[in-house]
């Protein structure tokens, strides 16, 4: 008899345990209005080796979730859900893993209803026109930058083609307005400041030196000395000397001849004169400029007045 009772109690306990689900899902309501929140609770009748994956929903959204709580050898986790579309939505079965074994919860139905509006009690307002947003700096920044760029280009154009050209013309005209002798001396001083031959630029030095002398002769005697060869320039000066139209000496003409010959040797024969020879040529150039002038023609009446 005792043995039979034992089997009966064992059978009842097995049936009771089998009827108790391992995982369970519950909701606190089945009907909500749009935007209202409700609670979903998942219970697991085990506390070790339990994995609750992320819940997948369709038409519903999770607002918040609580940490997993342990209560009477069970795990409980709560979720706050809501819905923003009207209709009937299912919370599908959720797969829970307990000791590497998968269990499924029941699917749950939620009805989401719209909010009825009593149009008889709602005050009506006229439809408002579309209002324009106030203007900001960003609305005009592109046009402002374009305007600044255009002004910069116009200003550069005016400076480069008008003001700079005018200043250059003024400087050139002022420079050329000097007497030939003063202009030549000014150019010789500028040549000295360049220190060309001191920096192994002897060819450039003699080119500028002879160009200064030729420019002086061209302006003072009014002949195209810059376009003539050395021999042609010397021949013109000898002709002027014979015709008694220039005020100079044979020594000055010889110095001019030696200066031009030396310059030709440096420029075309790659001659390298000594420093003392270069300094002598510099002094000779200044001497030539000071002693090669057109002869002043004095009228007979003026000669009588002078006598």
Domain contains 134:
no
Residue 271 lies in a domain: yes
Residue reference for tokens 């030196």: 209
Q: Provide the 8-state DSSP code for 296.
A: P
Give yes or no: residues 74 and 182 share one domain.
Answer: no
What CATH number is given to the structural domain containing 27? 2.60.40.10
> What pLDDT is attached to residue 246?
86
* Distance separating alpha carbons of residues 305 and 273, to the nearest angstrom: 52
113, 144, 165 - which closes a domain? 113
CA 62 – CA 82 distance, rounded (Å): 7
Q: Of 221, 256, 258, 255, nearest to 240 (Cα)?
A: 221
Last-in-domain residue among 113, 128, 157:
113
Residue 144 in any domain: the answer is: no
Tell me: the pLDDT tens digits for 141-158? 888 889 999 999 998 888
Q: Is 233 within the bounds of a domain? A: yes
Q: For residue 203, is it within any domain?
A: yes
Rounded mean pLDDT of 19-33?
84
Average pLDDT on 119-126 reads: 68
Is residue 206 domain-shared with residue 281, that is, in the same domain?
yes
Q: Do 186 and 89 share a structural domain?
A: no
Same domain flag for 109 and 182: no
Judge whether 247 lies within some domain: yes
| C-alpha–C-alpha distance, residues 236 and 242, integer Å | 10
Which residues face 78 on adjacent strands?
41
Integer Cα distance of 228 and 119 in angstroms: 109
For 268, the token pair is 């075309």
Q: What is the total count of domains within the chain?
A: 2
User: Do 183 and 295 reside in the same domain of the chain?
Assistant: yes
Predicted confidence (pLDDT) per residue in 225-280, tens digit: 888 888 888 888 888 888 888 888 889 889 888 999 998 898 888 888 998 999 99
- Mapped onto helix, strand or coil, the DSSP state of residue 297 is coil
Is the separation of the CB atoms in 20 and 102 below 8 Å?
no
pTM: 0.42
Task: Looking at the structure, tell me whether residues 101 and 187 fall in a common domain.
Answer: no
Closest listed residue to residue 30, CA positions, set 89, 106, 93: 89
Domain annotation covers residue 225: yes
226/120 Cα distance (integer angstroms):
107
Q: Residues of the chain with pLDDT > 90: what percent? A: 24
| C-alpha 209: how far from chain center | 47
Q: Clarify whether residues 202 and 103 are in a common domain.
A: no
Fill in the DSSP letter of residue 59. S
Q: In terms of residue numbers, what domain contains 251? A: 178-301
Interatomic CA distance for residues 67 and 79, integer angstroms = 9
- Segment 73-85 mean pLDDT: 89
Residues 188 and 105 in one domain: no
- Domain assignment present for residue 242? The answer is yes
Angle between helices 202-221 and 230-242 (to 10 degrees): 30
Are residue 218 and residue 291 in the same domain, yes or no? yes
- 125 burial (CB, 10 Å; 0-12 / 13-18 / 19+) is exposed
pLDDT above 50: residue 299:
no
| pLDDT value for 7 | 52
């Amino acid at each position: 008899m005792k043995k039979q009772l034992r089997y009966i109690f064992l059978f009842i306990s097995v049936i009771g345990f089998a009827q108790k689900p391992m995982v369970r899902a519950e909701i606190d309501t089945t009907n909500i209005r749009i935007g209202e929140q409700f609670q979903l609770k998942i219970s697991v009748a085990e506390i070790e080796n339990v994995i609750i994956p992320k819940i997948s929903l369709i038409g519903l959204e999770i607002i918040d979730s609580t940490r997993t709580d342990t209560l009477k050898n069970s795990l409980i986790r709560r979720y706050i859900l809501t819905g923003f579309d009207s209709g009937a939505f299912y919370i599908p079965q959720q797969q829970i893993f307990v000791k590497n074994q998968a269990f499924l919860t029941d699917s749950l139905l939620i009805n989401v209803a719209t909010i009825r509006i009593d149009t008889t009690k709602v005050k009506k307002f006229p439809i408002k026109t579309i209002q324009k947003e106030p203007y900001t700096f960003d609305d005009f920044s592109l046009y402002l930058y374009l305007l600044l760029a255009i002004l910069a280009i116009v200003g550069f154009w005016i400076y480069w083609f008008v003001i700079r050209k005018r200043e250059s013309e003024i400087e050139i005209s002022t420079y050329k307005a000097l007497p030939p002798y003063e202009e030549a001396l000014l150019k010789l001083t500028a040549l000295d400041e360049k220190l060309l031959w001191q920096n192994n630029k002897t060819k450039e030095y003699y080119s500028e030196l002879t160009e200064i002398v030729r420019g002086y002769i061209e302006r003072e005697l009014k002949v195209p000395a810059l376009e003539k060869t050395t021999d042609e320039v010397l021949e013109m000066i000898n002709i002027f000397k014979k015709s008694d139209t220039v005020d100079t000496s044979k020594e000055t003409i010889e110095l001019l001849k030696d200066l031009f010959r030396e310059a030709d040797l440096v420029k075309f024969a790659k001659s390298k004169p000594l420093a003392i020879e270069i300094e002598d040529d510099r002094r000779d150039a200044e001497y030539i400029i000071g002693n090669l002038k057109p002869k002043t023609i004095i009228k007979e009446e003026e000669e009588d007045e002078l006598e």
